[in-house]
Amino acid sequence: MQMSSTINEAALGGRFTFPGTSLTVNRIGYGAMQLAGPGVWGPPKDQDAAIAVLREAVATGVNHIDTSDFYGPHITNQIIRQALHPYPAGLVIVTKLGSRRPADKSWQPAITPEELTAGVHDNLRNLGLDTLEIVNYRTMGAIHGPKEGPIGEQIKVLANLKRQGLIRHIGVSNVTAAQVAEAQAITDVVCVQNNYNLAHRHDDALIDDLARQGIPYVPFFPLGGFTRLQSSTLSAVADRLAVTPMQVALAWLLHRSPNILLIPGTSSLAHLRENLAAGQLRLSKQTLAELDGIAATTAAPANH
């Protein structure tokens, strides 16, 4: 599998280097969660289509893929391996630990030393790797949001696995600023992944602090939790620009801070192409101001 050598990096939002590493990625990456079946469980309806999405993403210049072995479980990583292995030089695969998927399809914490170690080996086996480039410890927290509480014991386990050579770099996900600081007191943290978008800007201060440290912030759920009024404002901007609401939401995130890396997910080639095209969308100061006002509006929640 070859990556494009001619892709214009500006088309994918520019580039960013993970701190203390030689890992440089285009700012628009790909999130692999949706490659599994409904409810992130079992195989996809069309595995050939899932493979095609991955291959086109990489051929177009995507060199940052976010995944986890608890997607499926195991299925998503197996599809990535089938589609892309042997992996092209420069491709950064970021995985995460902290959950397990029992037979009832629920999401349960997997945070003991034994569970975290087993999770690393599951990821290595199903991705076909000897070392995981970046592993995020994801707290269970609240629904789609972090909850204060100690994470030091789990980070120490990952730091030990790093010393063993099974992990090269460590990140954190679904965390508070205090938890980021706790992790940094134990090991170098190369990325933070949280729920953040136009409507949910609780991490504004954290993003700015990470930017000062040269640490990337990777938001998930770019359209999650919008109210009807917020959705209508976003749609009006998208209509005016003749693009989709998702493209506007992604472009706003790229404008928000240069340390933001995107991992929009899809199992559709058409949606993949739309997501990648967001890197070429330029937003005027007036449009940015209009979008910045979305977080201040409140109304009844809409479903996304």
Domains observed in the chain = 11-225+259-266 (3.20.20.100)
Q: Between the CA of residue 229 and those of 243, 285, 300, 301, what are the distances in Å?
A: 19, 21, 8, 9
Q: For residue 24, give the 3-state DSSP assignment.
A: strand
Which of 202, 255, 240, 256 is CA-nearest to residue 224? Answer: 202
- Look at residue 304 and tell me whether its pLDDT is greater than 50: no
pLDDT tens-place string over residues 32-62: 999 999 999 999 999 999 999 999 999 999 9
* Residue 292, token pair as written in the block: 């910045």
- The residue-averaged pLDDT of 171-179 equals 98
Look up the pTM and report it: 0.94
pLDDT tens-place string over residues 126-159: 999 999 999 999 999 876 689 999 999 999 999 9
CB 248 within 8 A of CB 234: yes
In single-letter form, the type of residue at position 232 comes to S
CB 3 within 8 A of CB 63: yes
Task: Look at residue 8 in the predicted model and tell me its pLDDT.
Answer: 61
CB 216 within 8 A of CB 191: yes
Q: Where are the beta strands (DSSP E) in 112-246?
A: 132-138, 167-173, 189-195, 217-220
- 78/56 Cα distance (integer angstroms): 17
Which run of H or of E encompasses 92? strand 92-97
Which of 182, 190, 112, 111 is CA-nearest to residue 150? Answer: 182
**How many residues does the structure list for the chain?**
304
pLDDT tens-place string over residues 81-118: 999 999 999 999 999 999 999 999 999 999 999 999 99
**What mean pLDDT, rounded, does the chain reach?**
94
CB 66 within 8 A of CB 30: yes
CB 178 within 8 A of CB 148: yes
CB 253 within 8 A of CB 260: yes
- 55/85 Cα distance (integer angstroms): 11
CB 301 within 8 A of CB 244: no
**Left if phi > 0, otherwise alpha if psi is -120 to 50, otherwise beta: which for 74?**
left
pLDDT tens-place string over residues 228-272: 989 999 999 999 999 999 999 999 999 999 999 999 999 999 999
71 carries an active-site annotation: yes
- 215/211 Cα distance (integer angstroms): 6
The active-site residue, picked from 71, 87, 137, 217, is 71
Task: Look at residue 300 in the predicted model and tell me its pLDDT.
Answer: 37
- 265/28 Cα distance (integer angstroms): 11
Helix-helix angle 113-127:75-84, to 10 degrees: 30
Going by pLDDT thresholds of 50, 70 and 90, the confidence category of residue 69 is very high
